[in-house]
Amino acid sequence: MTPETADEVIDQPLWTPSAARMAAHPMTRFRERAAERSGRALPDHDALHRWSIEDRAGFWDLVWDFGGVAGDKGERRLVDGDRMPGARFFPDATLNFAENLLKKTGTGDALVFWGEERVKRRLSWDDLHALVSRLQQALVAAGVKPGDRVAAMMPNMPETIAAMLATASIGAVWSSCSPDFGPRGVLDRFGQIEPTVFIACDGYYYAGKTIDISPKLAEIVPGLPSVRATVIVPYIGTAAATAAKLPQGVALDDFVAPFTAKPVAFTPMPFGAPLYVMFSSGTTGVPKCIVHSAGGTLLQHIKEIHLHCGIGENDRLFYFTTCGWMMWNWLASGLATGATLLLYDGSPFHPDGNILFDYADAERMTMFGTSAKFLDAVHKAGLRPIETHDLSTLQMMTSTGSPLAPESFSFVYDGIKRDIHLASISGGTDIVSCFVLGIPGRPVWKGEIQGPGLGLAVDVWDEDGKPIAEGKGELVCRLAFPSMPIGFWNDADGSRYHAAYFDRFANVWCHGDFAEWTAHCGLIIHGRSDATLNPGGVRIGTAEIYNQVEPIPEVLEALAIGQDFDNDVRVVLFVRLRDGAILDAALEKTIRDRIRSGASPRHVPAKILAVADIPRTKSGKIVELAVREIVHGRPVKNQEALANPEALALFRDLPELAV
């Protein structure tokens, strides 16, 4: 059955995995091992998931073994498992994160890199080991010790992966952002964690342009007084000159010059030792510093990449991401499965919109990870990779960053590849992973996320904290899991951490997503709870509106907010239109009719306004809360977190919203 036909048939999936595919899938072997170890019949994925949350100690113990984790497990698997926060997984274990990503050796590709169409490089596993070794020795010589922080402002390139691994090999803590951040945004993040070493590039390429960041570095480095060495990585060819102008500046080649490659030394660390400091988007204040553990991150990523995505030895894993988004950290963990990482930096639409599909062809990509916005943009650009590219090796496509619209589900099967596992996934920086994602043995249904991750007691609760099988509510996780943060940086009593996730429901993680179960045991994410609209006291998810509006040909992108007006809240919709399109009465009627019929009359906006741009974070997420603040005349803090902060001015003091 073709996707076009499937769309016309009620309650038919877009895609169903073949028996042959599932027979070879790691998840199938894992379920068989779980049945043997538990002594329980586990005939299907639902049974496996039930066991994984009923016996979390046994489940995560099997993930450790099945994933071939290098380390000492210790005696205990889970202590205080009923406390959240407070549960401790593998409290006696020691391991080194980098050792688990560098188990493989040889001349095969470990990393492949494309910097737009300008730069193409590859590192073998032996090359990667050698670079990590030299960086490790240089970091130790610069005074980096276990627990110290190394901060990086880098493109998604091989040196960034190597520097992270060198940092983790010592037992130090890694934190990164992308080089398009402004000085204030960098200092708001790294200034809180006081790094010992700061690593940056000399510049980067974007949309065919060469962007020199030395002026930004001249502002940033003096604002990081804890830094003992500022290492400048060559990319645009000015590393030595840039380093010479900075305090404690040194070009990468000079930094590692005194050291020859030797076997990497791995410092054993406690399972719960800090590995990453990651940051909230920071659009409503100074970014929160979220600290993730080495062991929890490793086990969760092995589970997701190897089991849920099926990635293993000889696969080639790609995710379009910057180093300021948690998907970069997720991508890096793919090395633990023995897969080759396909790295890309730059615009995904330079020079003509096909470059990522060219990359998939040239490097025999197995998994293509991207954002919902990218897939929507490919669709609206009229591209049809199914007709222009050989994607025969591509087995899976994942989408995150925002809910994947139903129209985009259909486009993937109609315009990219028919036999592919498409998985909309959702989680966040908060857990450096996913709560809900692809389930290998299940069909793909239009507009739906397939289900919760193994080991995660995900549910949807109403405002009174009661589970609901139908209707929309809060996405929660009822039981502790290993990739919960250790805590927030500089939050000694844990009060800020507790307030972020556990104030709403005692001893339960409340994620802040507005969600709904489907008839197929999947989920739909309707948007962030804090961006939920409440006209007349009825909760409406913004994604419900976008799913109706963005398929309209004239509309490129939309953003909805709730505006306080006349002692109530009214829905205001902003649309960014195609070149030449005009928001006239006819288009307004089309938009309203589409929302009314596709969602409900309550979803229909009171006001529709056209804007030239919509503000978004560096990772491409639209910032509804920031726009809501501007519309209400309130200040937006930390605009450095935005990719296009100038767009906020388009929403200030609009006369149409005064009446």
Average pLDDT, the chain: 94
Pick the closest to residue 625 from 497, 514, 533 (CA basis).
533
Beta bridge pairs of residue 440: none
The pTM (predicted TM-score) of the whole model is: 0.89
Task: Give the largest CA-CA distance in the chain.
Answer: 71
Residue 289 half-sphere exposure, CB side, CA atoms within 13 Å?
25
Count of CB atoms within 10 A of residue 536's CB?
A: 9
Host H or E run for residue 487: strand 487-488
Least confident of 24-28, 220-224, 279-283: 279-283
Highest mean pLDDT among 4-18, 30-44, 627-641, 642-656: 30-44
Least confident of 109-123, 178-192, 306-320: 178-192
Cα 534 versus chain centre, distance: 28
What does the pLDDT average to over 156-174? 98
Which regions of 518-615 does DSSP assign to beta strands (E)? 523-528, 555-565, 568-577, 607-610
Spatial separation of the C-alpha atoms in residues 528 and 281, rounded to whole Å: 13
Spatial separation of the C-alpha atoms in residues 65 and 272, rounded to whole Å: 18
- State yes or no: pLDDT of 462 exceeds 80: yes
pLDDT digits (tens, 9 = 90+) for 464-523: 999 999 999 999 999 999 999 999 999 999 999 999 999 999 999 999 999 999 999 999
The tokens describing 587, both together, are 């288009």
- pLDDT recorded at residue 314: 92
- State yes or no: pLDDT of 402 exceeds 90: no
- State yes or no: pLDDT of 218 exceeds 90: yes
- State yes or no: pLDDT of 536 exceeds 80: no
Q: Are 81 and 88 in contact (CB under 8 A)?
A: no
- State yes or no: pLDDT of 285 exceeds 70: no
What is the DSSP pairing of strand 109-115 with strand 149-153?
unpaired
Sign of CA dihedral 513, 516, 522, 526: negative
CA distances from 155 to 149, 169, 301, 461 (A): 19, 21, 22, 40
pLDDT digits (tens, 9 = 90+) for 480-489: 999 999 999 9
Least confident of 69-73, 200-204, 547-551: 547-551
Angle (CA) 327 331 446, round 5° = 65
The tokens describing 70, both together, are 């290098």
pLDDT classification of 284: cutoffs 50, 70, 90: low
Classify burial at 625, counting beta carbons within 10 Å of its beta carbon; exposed 0-12, middle 13-18, buried 19 or more.
middle
Spatial separation of the C-alpha atoms in residues 518 and 342, rounded to whole Å: 34
Spatial separation of the C-alpha atoms in residues 217 and 241, rounded to whole Å: 12
Pick the closest to residue 291 from 495, 429, 190 (CA basis).
429
pLDDT digits (tens, 9 = 90+) for 590-617: 999 999 888 878 889 999 999 999 999 8
pLDDT classification of 529: cutoffs 50, 70, 90: confident
Host H or E run for residue 531: none
Which regions of 135-263 does DSSP assign to beta strands (E)? 149-153, 173-177, 197-201, 203-206, 209-212, 229-233, 249-251
Residue 146 φ/ψ, nearest 5 degrees: -50, 135
Residue 22 half-sphere exposure, CB side, CA atoms within 13 Å?
14
Which regions of 529-617 does DSSP assign to beta strands (E)? 555-565, 568-577, 607-610
Angle of the 56-66 helix axis to the 26-38 helix axis, nearest 10:
130
- pLDDT recorded at residue 30: 98
- State yes or no: pLDDT of 578 exceeds 50: yes
Angle (CA) 526 625 503, round 5° = 75
The tokens describing 611, both together, are 């804007």
- Domains annotated on the chain, with CATH: 97-517 (3.40.50.12780), 535-657 (3.30.300.30)
- Of the two residues 539 and 67, the one the predictor is more confident about is 67
Spatial separation of the C-alpha atoms in residues 156 and 141, rounded to whole Å: 25
pLDDT classification of 8: cutoffs 50, 70, 90: very low
Spatial separation of the C-alpha atoms in residues 77 and 59, rounded to whole Å: 10
Spatial separation of the C-alpha atoms in residues 509 and 488, rounded to whole Å: 15
Instruction: Give residues with Cβ within 8 angstroms of 209, minimum separation 6.
Output: none
Spatial separation of the C-alpha atoms in residues 547 and 406, rounded to whole Å: 7
Looking at residue 96, the DSSP 8-state letter turns out to be -
- State yes or no: pLDDT of 7 exceeds 70: no
- pLDDT recorded at residue 3: 39
The tokens describing 614, both together, are 């919509």
Host H or E run for residue 511: strand 509-517
Residue 293 φ/ψ, nearest 5 degrees: -90, 155
DSSP for 99-122 reads HHH----SSSEEEEEEETTTEEEE
Instruction: Give residues with Cβ within 8 angstroms of 331, minimum separation 6.
Output: 317, 318, 319, 321, 341, 343, 369
Residue carrying structure tokens 């990482």: 341
User: What is the amino acid identity at position 489?
Assistant: W
Count of CB atoms within 10 A of residue 150's CB?
A: 28
The tokens describing 382, both together, are 């009229």
Residue 290 φ/ψ, nearest 5 degrees: -100, 120
What does the pLDDT average to over 58-75? 98
